[in-house]
Amino acid sequence: MLRGLALSHVVDSLHEGVAALDAHGVVLGANEAFTRLVPLEQLSTLLDTRGVVLATDQHPWAQVLGTGEPVHDRVVGIPASDDGEVRWLRVNVVPAELDLGVVAVLTAVDVTLERHAAAALEAAEHRFRLAAEHAPIGIAIVSLEGVLLESNDAFCRLLGYGRGELSGLTFHAITHPDDLALDVAHVEELLAGGAETYRIVKRYLTRNGDALWAQLTVALARDTIGAPLYFISMIEDVSAQREAHEALEHQASHDELTGLPNRAALLAKTSDALARAAVSGRPMALLFCDLDHFKLVNDSRGHEAGDAVLVETAERLLTCIRDGDTAARMGGDEFVVLCEALPSRAHAEQVAQRLIDEITKPMTRAHHVTMTVSVGIALSEPGITAAELLRNADAALYRAKEDGRDRHALFMPELIERATRRLGLEHELREAMRTEALFLDYQPVRRLGDGSVAAYEALVRWQHPVRGVLAPDAFLPMAEATDLVLEIDRYVLQRACDDAMRWDGPDAPNVSVNISARHVGRGLLPGLVARALSRSGIEPSRLTLELTETALLGVTPTATTELDTLVLLGVRLAIDDFGTGYSSLTHLIDVPASYVKIDRSFVMRMASSEASTAIVEAVVSLCRALQIDVVAEGIEEEEQRAMLSRLGCSYGQGYLLGRPGRIGLTALEGAGA
């Protein structure tokens, strides 16, 4: 209660601390709230050292009384405990005229919690500003009119501007023109309330005019009643991700070795070109190109040389086509050229011949290699699809291959019928293996001295449900053009080994099996043979694998390892059709063969050709010196057999000595005799 004052009851009831002081600093009175807030012994400290008023004489409150100027809302702190805790008060000092004269009335309110809350808010705002300032992504405040108001260092660095240079620019000025419409549309949607935020990938323009791919996230700040205030924009550089994405897209649509578009990209481009051709009325063409005998390059020179040929082929194709045309690699040694807006069919054939002429020039990347190429041409027609056009070009290519390679062929409708028949034949062949409609005939290999059987050669036949028994010539060439021949090899090898195991007698003959050139050099042959031997139980020494000279041309390290492994398994090797290939004498040194088979073309001419006889005699003599046995193929007359015996040839095979046929499980000596 204020002593001596009539309003003491009113003042005492206030939650606000109230005290009155005279001009000499004597406390005339204070309510309970004041004494709780400020112990009277601290009053002088509160007034003198905490700066409630600016002191002009010994008693600072005298200034209030002397000038009549109040002091409002001064926040001061006083010790609240011995451990340094501070109580914060909001103090007002006003002069008041009472019965005792003019006094200074002090009011005090505890604002410690408010002070702490304000300090915490200020610290939080400071941390937030520091976080925004030092954030690794760009942050900018943009007005509703699109003007940049503030931006952090990261935003400036991303766009190449100095600190403060962005302020005042519009986001239109720093946005790539092609992406501006998208950005504006999203801004308008935000202002209309259609979304809270938006996120897009767009291109910014840097200070030097370069395009920068960035991910932009924008939010609209609003006041307490929901009115828009400004935009908060955050950008993150995604150039590296964009480049990686584009690289992946390029990788998915382009050949890694040559850099040309791949099959998927070609089909897409062809579909677009067909649409344009339908509008313009000008035809387009696909030229399907396949390098002739490319496998020989890989086998003889290695895959590095093969890759060099493919790269140079791609480069040459690009030099032969117009800017609007497309060259693509389908895989392996197959390429396709897409030519749009052709004047005529003849022009497509001219392009094809130009490609052939260019590719047949000696290669520079792979020295001492000269390639030829076959080309199939297909022209667009109303309603045709990209896949159909490519199929037509492939059918024409097959025709060019059949006609002798190193040429071009134009698609004709009947080629599809032939391709369909080939596909049907392939399907039937697979079914024939599944149902065991493929069977083996065996032709004896006899010792010319006594006529005894040394071995039987397995010859595959097909019991076709409609066409009857088919010889190998009726289906193996088609199988050789695909990997289907590998499956036939596996089938024949296993059946031949199984049959040989069932033949009676301690001196049962050996069995020989022809192996396709496609099987050599893949690294799979030793495993295939080992499994056939294991499943059948036949002794490895009873199995001979016959390989043509073409299969052995330019034996690669992989092929050499394969052949050596087969010999280590105990299997014998033979060079078939000897004399018809290239570098035959070299094969006698490079290939660990147990015997060679002289081609029938030499044997059949022995009686009428001294040259053929001389060749046979030379081969027999050379093989004898190398301790390699010789088998003469195609013996059909007694005179041929007699001449071969006189020349020292040990073994023979032919219709005179036994035709191919089925063999029972016993009496093998009589089979085919």
Structural tokens at position 139: 């942050």
- Among 31-35, 58-62, 247-251, 660-664, the range scoring the smallest mean pLDDT is 58-62
Whether the predicted pLDDT of 654 surpasses 90: yes
Residue among 378, 332, 334, 390 nearest 359 (CA):
334
Superfamily of domain 8-111: PAS domain (3.30.450.20)
Under the banding of pLDDT at 50, 70 and 90, the label for residue 671 is: very low
pLDDT at 630: 92
Structure-token match 């001449």, residue found: 643
pLDDT at 672: 38
Whether the predicted pLDDT of 7 surpasses 60: no
Report the 10 Å Cβ neighbour count for 497: 24
**pLDDT single digits (tens) 574-623:** 988 787 655 456 667 778 888 889 888 889 988 888 888 898 998 899 88
Q: Which CATH class is domain 254-411?
A: alpha beta
Bridge partner list, 151: 140
317: helix, strand or coil? helix
Under the banding of pLDDT at 50, 70 and 90, the label for residue 62 is: low
Whether the predicted pLDDT of 649 surpasses 80: yes
Residues 6+ apart with CB under 8 A from 73: 90, 91, 92
Concatenated DSSP letters for 490-551? Answer: HHHHHHHHHHHHH--STTPPEEEEE--GGGTTSS-HHHHHHHHHHHH---GGGEEEEEETTT
Bridge partner list, 334: 290, 331
Report the distance separating Cα 629 and Cα 433, nearest Å.
34
pLDDT > 70: what percent of the chain? 86
Whether the predicted pLDDT of 490 surpasses 70: yes
> Would you say the pTM of this structure is higher than 0.75?
no
**pLDDT single digits (tens) 352-394:** 999 999 999 999 988 778 899 999 999 998 889 999 999 899 9
Concatenated DSSP letters for 249-315? Answer: HHHHHB-TTT--B-HHHHHHHHHHHHHHHHHH----EEEEEEETTHHHHHHHH-HHHHHHHHHHHHH
Q: Average pLDDT, whole number, for the chain?
A: 83
> Measuring CA to CA, how many Å separate 58 from each of 91, 431, 545?
20, 120, 125
- Sorted by where each begins, the domain ranges of the chain are 8-111, 135-242, 254-411, 436-657
Assign domain 436-657 to its CATH architecture.
Answer: Alpha-Beta Barrel (3.20)
Give me the CATH topology for the region 135-242. Answer: Beta-Lactamase (3.30.450)
Whether the predicted pLDDT of 153 surpasses 90: no
What H or E segment, with its residue span, contains residue 336?
strand 334-339
Domain 8-111 and domain 135-242, same fold? Reply is: yes
